Amino acid sequence: MIYIDGTLHKNGNDAKISVFDHGLLYGDGVFEGIRVYRGRPFRLQAHLDRLFAGARAMRLEVPETAARIAELINGMIESDGRREAYIRLVVTRGAGDLGLNPRTCPRPSLVIILDDISLYPREFYEQGITLCTASWRRPPADCLNPRIKSLNYLNNVLAKIEANDRGCHEALILNKEGLVAECTADNVFYAERGRLFTPDLSAGALEGVTRGAVLELAASLGIEAAERRVNLYDLYAADECFLTGTGAELVPAVEIDGRAVGAARPGPIFARIREAFARLVEEESALRPEFAGARR
């Protein structure tokens, strides 16, 4: 089920955007990936807040209010009847001239896609995945701010290609200082002596919604958790490592650059956080449908 600028399509082949859309031509737009659990979008308000903040940062006018977008998403979920799903929410600059000047785009476009997603096989969540460090570095914020979840994901795509070529499941991306930013589509956590750490956002990480939920859960479980400047040594010497993201949810990493992480299997802190995350999803899914405040 796909919504495009006021029209709902139930066949993906019928859903089309202009070849002159600057989202396609120049990656000029923002997006969000949102999980649906038990018929309810997980932390919809947080996703919409991030979408609107990113759009403001790149001077992109979202063509609907947050409240209207929330209404559309919840209506699509109800109409489709799927209990477990994935929402891809996209705002592009819209159709314009072949030049990159945004002034040639009179109206932005809003696209909402309701579909399924499965990034990793089930056994990866039980056995763990392997990581390698990409040679591609994260651009600094004064070149392209990574906190904007824009349609320009080339840096991540190139790192993912490198991971594929090296036979790894995911790639770590470092910034120009050599600090760990994140993976191609996930935030990074590691455990050391019972404490949990994740890279500071200033290193070039996206402020992930699942990342935020994990920090909350750690506090509720009495696990000391903090953001910090993280280098590869920290991950090589860690007792545990795991990744978080809307698509991947929580997945353990058991090898980094050919080095076993801890005992080379998912650790006890990951197990506690994963179990708590499952409870959180169940609890929040039992609440009434979420309608975001009208924000521009």
Q: Catalytic site residues?
A: 149
**Three-class secondary structure of residue 77 per DSSP:** helix
> Which residues does residue 172 pair with via DSSP β-bridges, in sequence order?
133, 183
Q: What is the pLDDT of residues 268-283, one digit of tens each?
A: 999 999 999 999 999 9
CA torsion angle 77 78 80 81 (round to 10): 110
pLDDT value of position 287: 77
Show Cβ contacts of residue 127 under 8 Å, excluding neighbours closer than 6 positions. 254, 265, 266
Distance separating alpha carbons of residues 212 and 280, to the nearest angstrom = 13
Question: Do the domains 2-117 and 122-282 sit in the same CATH topology, yes or no?
Answer: no
Report which residue type is found at 198: T
pLDDT value of position 115: 96
Residues in the chain where the model's pLDDT stays below 70? 288-296
Distance separating alpha carbons of residues 187 and 184, to the nearest angstrom = 9
Pairing relationship of beta strands 40-41 and 85-92 according to DSSP bridges: unpaired
> Which residues does residue 113 pair with via DSSP β-bridges, in sequence order?
2, 88
Pairing relationship of beta strands 170-174 and 129-133 according to DSSP bridges: parallel
Which helix (H) or strand (E) segment holds residue 3: the answer is strand 2-4
List phi, psi (to 5°) of 12: -60, -30
Q: What is the pLDDT of residues 255-265, one digit of tens each?
A: 999 999 999 99
2-117 carries CATH number 3.30.470.10: yes
Distance separating alpha carbons of residues 69 and 75, to the nearest angstrom = 10
Enumerate the domain spans of the chain.
Answer: 2-117, 122-282
pLDDT value of position 165: 98
Which helix (H) or strand (E) segment holds residue 82: the answer is none
pLDDT value of position 290: 54
Q: 122-282 has which fold?
A: D-amino Acid Aminotransferase; Chain A, domain 2 (3.20.10)
Q: How far apart are the first and last CA of the chain?
A: 25
pLDDT value of position 74: 97
